[in-house]
Structure 1
Amino acid sequence: MSRKIQQLFDLTGKTALVTGGSRGLGLQMAHALGEAGARVMLSSRKAEDLEQAAAELQAAGIQADWIAADCAKEDETRGLADQTLARFGRVDILLNNAGASWGVPAEEHPVAAWDKVMNLNVRGYFILAQQIANGCMIKQRGGRIINIASIAALNGNPVGMKTLAYNTSKTAVIGFTRTLAAEWGRYGITVNAICPGFFRTKLSNGLIDSLGEDHMKAGAPLQRLGDDEDLKGITLLYASDAGKHITGQWLAVDGGVSVVLGAA
């Protein structure tokens, strides 16, 4: 007999590791996983931010812990995986969300800045996914990996946006997601990506302010920016048994912006 929809979306007994989870989109998605029953490990660079975020989750009745780590650094990324497995015993859901951007015209882009963005946005995703897969997911014959890409991966930039390294890294995340899904499907591991559009986050606030919030809303078919619950549904779908037959896919959550840009 097939399960009821509430059972398919239930994450009770599951554990989740969320990078970049101390604020913004990462914290929103951590709430989604925890509200569905998962125990959540948050990670980002700053302990103070993590402590506040974990307290917020705990106040909502979610089991939450945190580990400070810079996922642009290999030793800290591997340490994060090892410590999470030591504390939780297993990881059922890995949400790769930590990211960085750099706004400068392509002809002026410093190589060091390019490397910084790529190391966190792509290399860090690979190292953590490999470490978690080898540490538990392959052995337990199952797991969910969710990679945060961006609509910046889908088209060239609108006028005023100068984020070559960021866009390139997020395009790489989609390729990484699809290739990894093909390789690890035999282990029962699904790998999918989310491509957020414009949300009010620390990473995008400057861009939204410079281009004008009303202007950016007007460019979206739904005439709005993303809010603090718009990523919850797709996160839970990818993380739960409701999405167990979905792998190697990406979905834009952007109010339709990528549809307009794609037609331009």
Structure 2
Amino acid sequence: MDSFDGKVVVITGGATGIGFSFAKRFGEDGARLVIAGRRKDRVDEAVAALEALGYQAAGAACDVAKRGDVEALADFAWSTFGQADVLLNNAGVSQTARGSILTLDLGEYDRVYGINIYGMLHGIQVFGTRFVEQGTPAAIYNVGSENSFFPAVPGSSAYISSKHAVLAITEQLAEDVPDFIDVSLITPGWVASEMTDGFPGAMETDRYTAIVMPQLKAGHFFAVSHAYNMVHIDKRHDALRAAFDTYAPRYDGDDEFDVRTAIARAMARAKR
């Protein structure tokens, strides 16, 4: 989607931080905005700030962990603007109780997964099905993290694993939707937000969204930012490459045990 002019963009967790900065970026491009968040007072403040900048905006309270709230958000978007074209699944929470995976209370996983994974899935299913039915160019952008690629925050296995899940779900989503729906995985690193309060030195939020927006408009699947991430990503890939080169090196016909190849062959045989 190379332009958002006239599009209706729904942003969960859009009242503050990265979500609010993205709202301004979409507004600059001519989009109409629907801001959602659990704190209605902050949503109202965000809407007022966006309107003061000259953007069309509306807001609704929404807890993405509750599917009914997400369905109500979709109803609100369509009733307010007559359509929705873009969903930015931005709502997320950090891990508050940190510690070893051996001893971390499983309740922390439930809390984090409820928003970071199931909240995203609610958005995908509720808005995605409507986008398909609408049949016009649309987009679903999921906010992952540098933690989607490697463990960036020690002692945060609930958060890290939730963002790994965002990567996997977004990759599958890109295969499942029609071509007229763009899908991107947004992967912020250390960016100033409520999550990073108390940790100075993070990238300024508006600087971050300025880097990402051109990637979304160009239709890139991975929307990236922090350059040093490649050091950690390469470390994982180098270890994988060394393991495969040593114990499972390539050979002619090695696709014999490749699952995707086997499924494609089976499907081709079934069509004969």
Deviation at 1:129, TM superposition (A): 1.6
Q: Give the count of matched residue pairs.
A: 233
Task: Tell me if 1:150 matches 2:128.
Answer: no
In the alignment, what sits opposite 1:230? Answer: 208
Counting only pairs closer than 5 Å after superposition, residues 46-85 of structure 1 correspond to structure 2 as 46-85=39-78
Amino acid at match of 2:203: L
In the alignment, what sits opposite 1:162? Answer: 155
Deviation at 1:67, TM superposition (A): 0.3
Counterpart-to-counterpart distance in 2, 1:33 and 1:69: 20
In the alignment, what sits opposite 2:108? Answer: 113
Counting only pairs closer than 5 Å after superposition, residues 63-212 of structure 1 correspond to structure 2 as 63-102=56-95, 103-105=97-99, 106-157=101-152, 161-186=154-179, 188-206=180-198, 208=199
Counterpart-to-counterpart distance in 1, 2:142 and 2:183: 8
Residue 9 to residue 157, structure 1, CA distance change in 2 (3 Å):
closer
Other structure's SS at 1:109 match: coil
Amino acid at match of 2:87: L
In the alignment, what sits opposite 1:253? Answer: 225
Deviation at 1:173, TM superposition (A): 0.8
Deviation at 1:118, TM superposition (A): 0.7
Counterpart-to-counterpart distance in 1, 2:128 and 2:192: 32
Question: Please, what is the CA RMSD of the aligned residues?
Answer: 1.9
In the alignment, what sits opposite 1:17? Answer: 10
Deviation at 1:236, TM superposition (A): 4.9
In the alignment, what sits opposite 2:233? Answer: 262
Counterpart-to-counterpart distance in 2, 1:235 and 1:167: 24
Deviation at 1:83, TM superposition (A): 1.8
Q: Which moved more, 1:170-179 or 1:35-44?
A: 170-179
- Structure 2 unaligned residues grouped into runs of 5+: 236-272
Deviation at 1:66, TM superposition (A): 0.2
Deviation at 1:45, TM superposition (A): 0.4
Contact 2:21-2:205 within 8 A present in 1 as well: no
Counterpart-to-counterpart distance in 2, 1:182 and 1:137: 14
Deviation at 1:233, TM superposition (A): 4.2
Amino acid at match of 1:198: W
TM-score, normalised relative to structure 2:
0.79
In the alignment, what sits opposite 1:5? Answer: none
Task: Indicate the percent of aligned positions where both proteins have the same amino acid.
Answer: 28
Following TM superposition, the consecutive aligned residue runs of length 4 or more in structure 1 with deviations greater than 6 angstroms are none
Deviation at 1:9, TM superposition (A): 4.4
Amino acid at match of 1:59: A
Amino acid at match of 1:133: G
Counterpart-to-counterpart distance in 2, 1:9 and 1:57: 22
Counterpart-to-counterpart distance in 2, 1:233 and 1:62: 21
Counterpart-to-counterpart distance in 2, 1:12 and 1:234: 17
Q: 1:51-82, CA deviations, whole angstroms, 9 ceiling, x for partnerless residues?
A: 11111111111111100111112221222122
Counterpart-to-counterpart distance in 2, 1:23 and 1:72: 18
Other structure's SS at 2:36 match: strand
Contact 2:212-2:224 within 8 A present in 1 as well: no
Deviation at 1:133, TM superposition (A): 2.1
Counterpart-to-counterpart distance in 1, 2:128 and 2:232: 36
Contact 1:194-1:253 within 8 A present in 2 as well: no
Counterpart-to-counterpart distance in 2, 1:133 and 1:262: 30
Deviation at 1:260, TM superposition (A): 2.5
Counterpart-to-counterpart distance in 1, 2:107 and 2:78: 32
Deviation at 1:137, TM superposition (A): 3.9
Amino acid at match of 1:32: R
Other structure's SS at 2:178 match: helix
Counterpart-to-counterpart distance in 2, 1:92 and 1:112: 35
TM-score, normalised relative to structure 1:
0.82
Q: 1:2-41, CA deviations, whole angstroms, 9 ceiling, x for partnerless residues?
A: xxxxxx8432211000000000000001111011000000
